[in-house]
Structure 1
Amino acid sequence: MIDEIDQLLISALMSDSRRSLKALAQVSGLSSPSVAERLRRLEERGVIKGYTVDVEPKSFGYLLQAIVRIRPLPGQLQEVERQIQAIPQFTECDKVTGDDCFIARLHVHDMEQLDTLLDRLNHHAETNTAIVKKTPIKRRLPPMT
């Protein structure tokens, strides 16, 4: 069960995963050892899966981001999944219901690289690509209530 203090700790970590135990103790009104114990229990239960760094892909020259809907050709589902996993520019991928089996996020340097990477899938799948202009909502948690 997630109580209000756990929710406070999780929200604080979502806004800055580098917060110290002392800072988390101030936010929650607990002692640092109590915060450490709560975090340990949240990790053990799988509520907190890890702590991360948010890196800007443009810093590495990835100027374009695309959302790619991928529909494998008959009998090619597993091969398409292997291909997606083998292309490191695919930074996220969901297997979904509906006409398309995969919806993936792809970061590329330019349109030429986009074409080259998608050409690797063309023998196994149909793709439909949309270039991301802006991300008004970054990945976030749904409400914890």
Structure 2
Amino acid sequence: MFDEVDMEIIKILQNNSRMQLQEIGNMVHLTGQAVRNRITRLEKLGAIEGYTIKTNMAKLGLGLTAYITVYMKTNNHAAFHKYIRDNTMITEAHRVSGEGCYSLKAEVASHGMLEELLDGILQFGNYKVNLSISRIK
């Protein structure tokens, strides 16, 4: 369904979604319009769901990154999903197999904010926390 050119366009957009269509075209040997057509098709097929930016959380005052494994003690997953969506400190959330029920990534400014987040999680289950020392990639 997707050829090598489609995959290359996706890779280019993942690295810089603001790149001009003509620039992308030069890289994949297509015209800017042909690239636009492929991107539109990829969007319609759901392969491209949206565009985003990378942020430096430390420079935004959120220099503490926590990875939280949640062990649910309730069956009310819908309420937990709402809690996750409504909480801006949680930047990623995955329902997982293996250890725990959910894996969360949180970006906070302080240990106090992290403690506040963890206290909120306790209404749904227990947790294990790993803190990032530095980002490699």
Taking structure 1 as the reference length, what is the TM-score of the superposition? 0.86
Matches within 5 A, 1:122-137: 122-137=122-137
Q: Deviations over 1:82-105 (max 9, x none)?
A: 322222100000011235111000
Return the letter of the residue paired with 2:34: S
Matches within 5 A, 1:22-61: 22-61=22-61
- Decide whether aligned partners of structure 1 residues 6 and 99 sit closer, same or farther in structure 2, where only a CA change above 3 A counts: closer
Provide the rounded CA distance (Å) in 1 between the counterparts of 2:79 and 2:39. Answer: 40
Q: Deviations over 1:54-86 (max 9, x none)?
A: 111112210100000011114443333332222
Return the letter of the residue paired with 2:126: E
- Decide whether aligned partners of structure 1 residues 84 and 26 sit closer, same or farther in structure 2, where only a CA change above 3 A counts: same
Provide the rounded CA distance (Å) in 1 between the counterparts of 2:47 and 2:62. Answer: 32
8 Å Cα contact 1:72-1:126 kept in structure 2: yes
- Moved runs in structure 1, 4+ residues, more than 2 A? 74-86, 134-137
Provide the rounded CA distance (Å) in 2 between the counterparts of 1:22 and 1:74. Answer: 52
Taking structure 2 as the reference length, what is the TM-score of the superposition? 0.90
Return the letter of the residue paired with 2:28: S
SS of structure 1 residue aligned to 2:51: coil
Structure 2 residue 62 is matched with structure 1 residue 68: no
Return the letter of the residue paired with 2:95: K
Equivalence for 2:104: 104
Equivalence for 1:89: 89
Q: Identity of counterpart residues, as a percentage? A: 25
Return the letter of the residue paired with 1:72: M
Provide the rounded CA distance (Å) in 1 between the counterparts of 2:3 and 2:97. Answer: 34
Provide the rounded CA distance (Å) in 2 between the counterparts of 1:4 and 1:136. Answer: 29
Structure 2 residue 21 is matched with structure 1 residue 21: yes
Count of paired positions: 137
Q: Please, what is the CA RMSD of the aligned residues?
A: 1.5
Q: Provide structure 2 residue ranges, at least 5 long, that are not aligned to the other structure.
A: none
Provide the rounded CA distance (Å) in 2 between the counterparts of 1:26 and 1:99. Answer: 46
Provide the rounded CA distance (Å) in 1 between the counterparts of 2:46 and 2:74. Answer: 37
Return the letter of the residue paired with 2:87: I
71-80 vs 61-70, greater mean Cα deviation: 71-80
